[in-house]
Amino acid sequence: MTAIKILTVLMVLIGTIFLSLSFQSAKKISAGISEELHQKWLIVLCLIGFFILGYIFFDLVLISNLPFPDELITGGVFLGGAVFVYIIINVSHDTIAARQKAEEAIALARDDWQTTFDAATDVITVHDMDFNIIRSNPSAQSILGLQIEEGMPLAKCFRSYHGTEKPPSGCASCQSLQTGKPSTLEIFEPHLNRHLEIRAMPRFGKDRRLIGLIHVVRDISERKLAEAKIKETLDSLRKALAATIQVLVSVVETRDPYTAGHQIRSADLARAIATEMKLSEGQIDGIRIAGTIHDIGKLSIPAEILSKPCSLTTIEFSLIKEHSRQGYKILKDVESPWPLAEMVYQHHERMDGSGYPRNLKGDEILMEARILAVADVVESMASHRPYRPGLGLGVALDEITKNRGVFYDTAVVNACLRVFNEGYKMPD
């Protein structure tokens, strides 16, 4: 009997320890929860405390008065109850701590968002499904003159952004509402006298249901102005370059009409080949311009040699071969978007390294120069020269076909053959 009493008392003591620990946890929870939950938790705490005190009292009465085995059962029930309370309190503690952490993270994110929203220099507006602006940041208020306050009628986004009575065509909001995806529109707004980049993003509620849009709008007026100025500068540079090239062409024309005609026809053929090869528009322009002046170096060769009606001596020919280098020297300081001087320097190089003046081979030769080389050979052979009559287009095309992949780039030769097969004719 004594042993049972001792065991029962032990169980009550251990149970009391668990209850004490439960109180500690309960106090921690009480300290950590929000104001709103605090009062509710105090009521729960009082109820638990009241229940535990009553339970201890009840158990002590039972242990001292009841005969075996009820004492042992009552002690066991007390211990079990205390452990149960301990587990419940601690599980609650963990749950409440996790919830509190999540609430803190949400509050921090909300504060961060609000700060960003207020500080952004871009216009930010939040819209409902009926094109009403329901919220806007200070930038929207200063740029669009929006005042969104409680009790005021909501502003329609198309009135504020576009000054219209309905969404304009290409409207970013309409696109985004239709697709559920972000949409961007660059537009000039005369009523604001500003260029705007409007980015509309869908706004989703519960179950990913579309509930409106968020607009992030950037004033790109300064960028547009800078772009227009750059374009204007580039246009005037292009005009200046075109005038320079025309002067060079005229000089050649005055001194050596054969070379002038050859350059014009070679340039046109080179342009056609480059177009057939689907090079970029910029590259095609560069090839055409380089073509019109590719023999400019011949200005340094005595006119008697250039217009000599019979075959040239070895020395005379070596003088003529210098014209690529001389052309490079004339053009190397001309500012242009293309490597004009280098194209001219390389237009007599051959893929196998047998060309001149530097014996470049393969990839050392610019693609533009490989195209010029083929156009130059075809035009030269097909046309009449001071020292011989024209050999004809057939002979010229046979030459590039025979030496395709040896002297001349294979892709360029193939493109040249296609160009003539499709009916191309060199200008007169």
Q: Give the binding site for Fe ion (CB under 5 A).
A: 295
- Between 127 and 265, name the residue whose CB sits nearer to Fe ion: 265
- Between 256 and 295, name the residue whose CB sits nearer to Fe ion: 295
Would you give the distance in Å from CA 297 to the centre of its chain? 45
Chain position whose Cβ is nearest to Fe ion:
295
- How far apart are CB 311 and Fe ion at their closest, in Å? 18
Say which DSSP state 312 is in.
P
- How far apart are CB 294 and Fe ion at their closest, in Å? 6
Q: Are strands 132-136 and 194-204 parallel, antiparallel or unpaired?
A: unpaired
Residue 263 near residue 250, CB atoms below 8 Å:
no
- How far apart are CB 380 and Fe ion at their closest, in Å? 8
- Between 158 and 356, name the residue whose CB sits nearer to Fe ion: 356
- Between 215 and 262, name the residue whose CB sits nearer to Fe ion: 262
Which are the contacts of 336, defined by CB distance < 8 A and separation ≥ 6? 241, 286, 289
Ramachandran class of 418: left when φ > 0, alpha when ψ lies in -120 to 50, beta otherwise: alpha
Q: What is the 3-state secondary structure (H, E, C) of 149-179?
A: CCCCCCEEHHHHHHCCCCCCCCCHHHHHHHH
- How far apart are CB 223 and Fe ion at their closest, in Å? 45
- Between 219 and 349, name the residue whose CB sits nearer to Fe ion: 349
Which are the contacts of 15, defined by CB distance < 8 A and separation ≥ 6? 75, 78, 79, 81, 82, 83
Up-side HSE of residue 95: CA atoms within 13 Å toward CB?
Answer: 7
- Between 186 and 253, name the residue whose CB sits nearer to Fe ion: 253
d(Cα 291, Cα 338) in Å, to the nearest integer?
Answer: 12
Q: Scanning the structure block, which residue is given the tokens 């340094």?
A: 300
- How far apart are CB 422 and Fe ion at their closest, in Å? 26
What tokens does 85 get? 């309370």
- Between 262 and 404, name the residue whose CB sits nearer to Fe ion: 262
Other beta carbons within 10 angstroms of residue 309's beta carbon come to 8
- How far apart are CB 408 and Fe ion at their closest, in Å? 15
What tokens does 141 get? 């208020």
- How far apart are CB 238 and Fe ion at their closest, in Å? 25
Q: Is 212 helix (H, G, I), strand (E, B) or coil?
A: strand
